[in-house]
């Protein structure tokens, strides 16, 4: 369990520190195939140490391949010679194999990155660490796409870098494994390998070589155990014959040898693909790693079985290979929805009901290469640019106009040419527009809107149209409901809107607005065109609870199709009040119907028509544009400013309302209840409940209620022609008063005949209600409010809670109040952005007192307590209790042991053997203690055994090819005639295989 630094340094002198790095900085310049053969040979001696050497080589390759010349000169000469060592840091406690979800952050602070986070399962005691960190935003997963992962080198003497304890492992005992913590580590930005956001690509390419390397280590271990098994079976005898003569074991050896050769061929093929840059290299490396590590571990495990009980002893090294190769089946696996990459894809966004395009998709690239393209001019459909291996697709979606309903994203993924998937599982996603709600503010309200022009030669001097009579066009606007609009950003405009934006013709647009009045539109307003660019102009309009949005447009002339405007501005606040004194700056928009670049460009219709966009995003890169941005002008000023002021408002109906503290947040009002009377005057009610702010006493923030008189139709009088029955008896008051309806009593009368001259109401009965019965209720159950919303995600706690308040205490044995608070554990995704918090513990307490007693064994202990537990992947708490054996040596006369027997003869006559001696326990005497040791052994001093060289037979003939056409393989073998004893030179290979290709298979036509 010692890290063999001298051995590793010797490997560096042989050129094994940078096997596939370039030679100008000390690398050996070998191919991946050469490196695979070397790793296999080294692993047959010590698999654990070889595995660390391959990790170090991968780190060197990352710096050599992606680093700049200064970084290569700074680190690689020492690393490739093993004067210094490197380790790779990717895995985290919370992400494991999901590399896209890593949370270790690197925030740029001047010339340094501030690193915070932790990594785990880091191999080796190294001088520098190649670390994957997140320099961008946390992983926003749409089709599981990672963002902002970068690669950075952190040296071991960096302040804030700390290490966890060495893990106790099943295998890989020659290389220490521990966690690494970063707490405000300041790392120079010159240590960044490649570009920001390129780390994920570096990690994935590194894993391809890592899979070949770890599979090569498995080959070496399997080869060694196979040879050890052959030696053991030739020497070990059972029932008077060597085990090698047992037919079952011969078959088992043949199966092991076949699996080993097949694994070796797959690994060699993957290494060749890696050297050649084959399009299939990711799949070939993954398949070779999967097959070879599984089969080689099985070979090592079978070798232990062949050794029998000897395979379980430390003196026989076969067990070590099994323990070291077990971890190879776990390493180098990357999980991100799929174990394999894909070649091509197509993604579209469509309206679920209409099946029409929905919004716009735009591919986004993390590495500067083409990430995708729109297909056949369809803005809602993107596809791949090339057949490179891909692990994820990243894109932006610009949503369509309001009222589009549910949108479905559908993906088609091509993994290989004959294998593709469509709309399966995670390849389909549906999102729905949140339904609009009626404004909760009270009554109709009147606003004044003041338009102030800013556009002038002084604010926008380039190519200002002084000689073309610059002017503001007609301002056309409306207050409307949520399902109506004049225009939407990033949406095609209507024909009426096109005429207003291009030619300042408002007739069609006004007709369209007016035709929607009394339905979607409440008011229409207009300001006439004028040549005074800076004159303040005011217009008034009304809004109500349904029509609480305002929109308008105003063209600037001359221009191709440019205008300023407001799109569906909501004047209703979420706290059920109207907005007041609101001022907004207006930028210039392009209607997308004319391609003109300058104010006076000739008419040139856009084919096909484009969507509404900011003029800046379309024209500022053209030097002919009046909005061209150069060194003298860094931004474009607004063109106009508007101010909304509330003039009058309608008071809310008289309500029974409790004043709510400022910190209380309430929900939207419910709908009005039905009128309590079928004719005449009745009452209707509505309510809202408290949400949010769990720190308040909810009994101080009760449910709010409003009561309003309602009148449906007049009740018929006694002197009309309507004939009615007599009033019924009043209903009795209820015994339980939970709701307002249960607090009233009523009576009814039926209409039996209508008069000739008097129009009776269209009802068959009349209902009257009397005063509340609440004072007469004999039993009152507990009444509680609605639940509050769940408390928001917080890094200071692990649970989210919600509460409700008691509105009425139970009386007269009424139903008791239910639970007023609930809690549940936060989702894991909620806490992914929380900064890790390490555990803090107190100092150790004093050791407990040891008794001076020989009859029993005692331990002394000491403890410490947790001051602050670890949170969000922070450094875990250390051991809280320590135990020691009390050191009190009992007198010899009190120990119940008999005398030792003489030493036995040696178990062997030459080589390595042992002697044994024994003793027994005396009868248990009063006051004595149990004898601690009853047997001992020691090594014999014997002469060396006579050396016996291995002797093998001649090779058999080659077997027939495994395939009649195409590439196959054939084998031959030879027998061991004399097996040398343990410690002597091992016998050579007894099974050989080679590829064979008698003839090519005929091509199917």
| Residue numbers annotated as active site | 332
How far apart are alpha carbons 493 and 609 in whole angstroms? 9
Residue closest to 315 by CA, chosen among 982, 833, 954: 982
CA–chain centroid gap for 99, Å, is 9
Structure tokens at 407: 């949108």
Q: What's the maximum distance between 2 C-alpha atoms anywhere in the chain?
A: 138
What is the enclosing helix (H) or strand (E) of 507? helix 507-515
What is the enclosing helix (H) or strand (E) of 134? strand 128-134
Structure tokens at 232: 């053991």
Residue closest to 143 by CA, chosen among 286, 435, 349, 292: 349
Strands (E), 814-932: 821-825, 840-841, 859-863, 866-868, 881-885, 914-918
Strands (E), 445-514: 445-453, 471-480
Strands (E), 515-630: 521-527, 537-543, 549-557, 562-570, 582-586, 589-590, 613-614
Which residues are bridge partners to 895 per DSSP? 929
Spell out a b/e string for 294-332, using b for 16 or more CB atoms within 10 Å of the CB, else e: ebbbbbbbbbbebbeeebeeeebebbbbbbbbbbbbebb
Which residues are bridge partners to 915 per DSSP? 938
φ and ψ of 255, to 5 deg:
-65, -40
φ and ψ of 444, to 5 deg:
-65, 150
CA dihedral (364, 368, 371, 373) in degrees, to 10, reads: 80
- Dihedral of alpha carbons 13, 14, 16, 20, sign: positive
How far apart are alpha carbons 449 and 541 in whole angstroms? 8
**Cis-peptide into 530, omega within 30 deg:** no
Strands (E), 842-913: 859-863, 866-868, 881-885
How far apart are alpha carbons 640 and 637 in whole angstroms? 9
Tokens 């890696």 map to which residue? 274
**Coil vs helix vs strand at 947:** coil
First to last CA, the chain: 61
Do 147 and 197 meet the contact criterion of CB atoms below 8 Å apart?
yes
CA dihedral (673, 676, 678, 680) in degrees, to 10, reads: -120
**Coil vs helix vs strand at 40:** helix
Parallel, antiparallel, or unpaired: how do β-strands 821-825 and 521-527 relate? unpaired
How far apart are alpha carbons 543 and 522 in whole angstroms? 7
Structure tokens at 49: 């140490």
How far apart are alpha carbons 359 and 382 in whole angstroms? 12
Residue closest to 324 by CA, chosen among 449, 190, 222, 461: 222
Do 216 and 32 meet the contact criterion of CB atoms below 8 Å apart?
no
Which residues are bridge partners to 182 per DSSP? 117, 161
Do 559 and 535 meet the contact criterion of CB atoms below 8 Å apart?
no
Cβ contacts of 476 within 8 Å, gap of 6 or more: 486, 500, 506, 509, 510, 513, 524, 526, 552, 553, 554
Residue closest to 955 by CA, chosen among 932, 936, 937, 975: 975
């Amino acid at each position: 369990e010692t890290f063999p630094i001298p051995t590793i340094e010797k490997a560096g002198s042989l050129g094994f520190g940078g096997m596939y790095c370039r030679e100008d900085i000390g690398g050996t310049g070998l191919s991946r195939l050469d490196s695979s053969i070397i790793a296999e040979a080294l692993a047959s001696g010590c698999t654990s140490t070889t595995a660390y050497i391959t990790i170090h080589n991968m780190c060197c390759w990352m710096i050599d391949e992606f680093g700049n010349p200064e970084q290569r000169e700074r680190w690689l000469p020492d690393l490739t010679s093993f004067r210094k060592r490197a380790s790779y840091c990717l895995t985290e406690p919370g992400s494991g194999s999901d590399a896209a979800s890593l949370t270790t952050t690197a925030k740029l602070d001047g010339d340094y990155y501030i690193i915070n986070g932790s990594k785990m399962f880091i191999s080796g005691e190294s001088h520098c660490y190649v670390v994957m960190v997140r320099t961008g935003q946390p992983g926003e997963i749409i089709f599981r796409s990672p963002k902002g992962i970068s690669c950075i080198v952190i040296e071991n003497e960096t302040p804030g870098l700390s290490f966890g304890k060495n893990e106790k492992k099943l295998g890989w005992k020659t290389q220490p494994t521990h966690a690494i913590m970063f707490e405000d580590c300041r790392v120079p930005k010159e240590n960044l390998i490649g570009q920001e956001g390129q780390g994920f690509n570096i990690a994935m390419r590194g894993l391809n070589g890592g899979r070949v390397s770890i599979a090569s280590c498995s080959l070496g271990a399997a080869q060694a155990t196979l040879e050890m098994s052959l030696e053991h079976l030739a020497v070990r005898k059972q029932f008077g014959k060597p085990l090698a003569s047992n037919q079952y074991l011969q078959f088992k050896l043949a199966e092991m040898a076949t699996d080993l050769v097949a694994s070796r061929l797959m690994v060699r093929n993957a290494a060749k693909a890696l050297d050649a840059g084959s399009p299939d290299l990711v799949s070939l490396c993954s398949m070779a790693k999967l097959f070879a590590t599984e089969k080689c571990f099985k070979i090592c495990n079978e070798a232990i079985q062949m050794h029998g009980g000897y395979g379980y002893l430390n003196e026989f090294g076969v067990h070590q290979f099994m323990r070291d190769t077990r971890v190879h089946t776990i390493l180098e696996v990357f999980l991100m929805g799929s174990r394999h990459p894909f070649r091509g894809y197509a993604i579209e966004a469509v309206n679920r009901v209409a099946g029409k395009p929905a919004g716009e998709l735009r591919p986004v690239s993390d590495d500067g290469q083409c990430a995708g393209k729109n297909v056949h001019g369809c803005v809602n459909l993107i596809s791949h640019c090339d057949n490179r291996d891909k692990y994820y697709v990243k894109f932006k979606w610009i949503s369509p106009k309001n009222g589009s309903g549910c949108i479905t994203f559908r993906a088609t993924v091509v993994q290989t040419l004959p294998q593709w998937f469509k709309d399966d599982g995670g390849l389909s996603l549906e999102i729905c527009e949140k339904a609009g709600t009626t404004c909760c503010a009270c009554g109709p309200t009147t606003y004044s809107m003041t338009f102030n022009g800013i556009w002038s030669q002084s604010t926008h001097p380039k190519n200002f149209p002084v000689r073309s009579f610059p002017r503001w066009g007609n301002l056309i606007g409306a207050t409307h409901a949520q399902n109506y609009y004049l225009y939407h950003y990033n949406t095609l405009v209507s024909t009426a809107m096109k005429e207003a934006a291009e030619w300042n013709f408002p007739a069609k647009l006004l007709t369209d607005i007016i035709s929607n009045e009394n339905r979607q539109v409440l008011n229409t307003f207009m300001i006439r065109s004028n040549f005074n660019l800076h004159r303040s102009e005011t217009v008034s309009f009304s809004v109500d609870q349904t029509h609480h949005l305002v929109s308008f447009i105003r063209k600037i002339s001359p221009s191709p199709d440019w205008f300023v405007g407001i799109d569906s501005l909501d004047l209703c606040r979420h706290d059920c009040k109207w907005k007041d004194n609101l001022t907004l700056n207006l930028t210039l928009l392009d209607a997308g119907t004319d391609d003109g670049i300058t104010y006076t460009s000739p008419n040139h219709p856009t084919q096909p028509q484009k969507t509404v966009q900011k003029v800046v995003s379309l024209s500022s890169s053209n030097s002919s544009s009046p909005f061209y941005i150069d060194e003298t002008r860094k931004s474009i000023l607004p063109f106009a400013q508007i101010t909304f002021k509330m003039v009058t408002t309608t008071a809310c109906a008289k309500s029974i309302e409790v004043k709510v503290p400022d910190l209380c947040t309430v929900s939207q009002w419910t709908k009005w209840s039905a009128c309590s009377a079928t004719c005449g005057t009745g009452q209707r009610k509505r309510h809202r409940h408290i949400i949010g702010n769990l720190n308040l006493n909810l009994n101080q923030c009760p449910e709010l209620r409003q009561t309003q008189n309602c009148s449906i139709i007049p009740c018929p009088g006694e002197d009309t022609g309507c004939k009615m029955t007599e009033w019924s008896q009043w209903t009795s008051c209820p015994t339980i008063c939970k709701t307002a309806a249960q607090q009233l009593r009523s009576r009814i009368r039926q209409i039996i005949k209508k008069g000739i001259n008097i129009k009776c109401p269209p009802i068959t009965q009349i209902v009257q209600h009397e005063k509340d019965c609440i004072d007469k209720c004999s039993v009152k159950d507990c009444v509680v409010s609605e639940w509050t919303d769940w408390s928001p995600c917080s890094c200071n706690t692990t649970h989210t809670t919600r509460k409700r308040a008691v509105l009425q205490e139970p009386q007269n044995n009424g139903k008791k109040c239910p639970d007023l608070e609930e809690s549940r554990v936060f989702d894991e995704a909620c806490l992914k952005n929380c900064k890790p918090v390490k555990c803090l513990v107190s100092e150790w307490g004093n050791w407990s007192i040891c008794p001076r007693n020989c009859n029993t064994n005692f331990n002394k202990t000491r403890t410490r307590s947790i001051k602050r537990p670890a949170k969000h992947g922070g450094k875990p708490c250390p051991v809280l209790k320590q135990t020691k054996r009390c050191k009190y040596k009992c007198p010899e006369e009190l120990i119940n042991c008999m005398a030792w027997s003489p030493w036995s003869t040696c178990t062997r006559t030459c080589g390595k053997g042992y002697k044994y001696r024994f003793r027994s326990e005396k009868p248990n005497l009063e006051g004595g203690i149990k004898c601690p040791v009853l047997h001992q052994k020691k090594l014999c001093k014997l002469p060396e055994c006579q050396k016996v060289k291995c002797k093998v037979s001649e090779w058999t003939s080659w077997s027939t090819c495994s395939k009649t056409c195409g590439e196959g393989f054939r084998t031959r073998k030879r027998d061991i005639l004399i097996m040398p004893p343990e410690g002597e030179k091992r016998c050579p290979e007894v099974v050989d295989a080679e590829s064979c290709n008698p003839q090519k298979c005929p091509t199917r036509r």
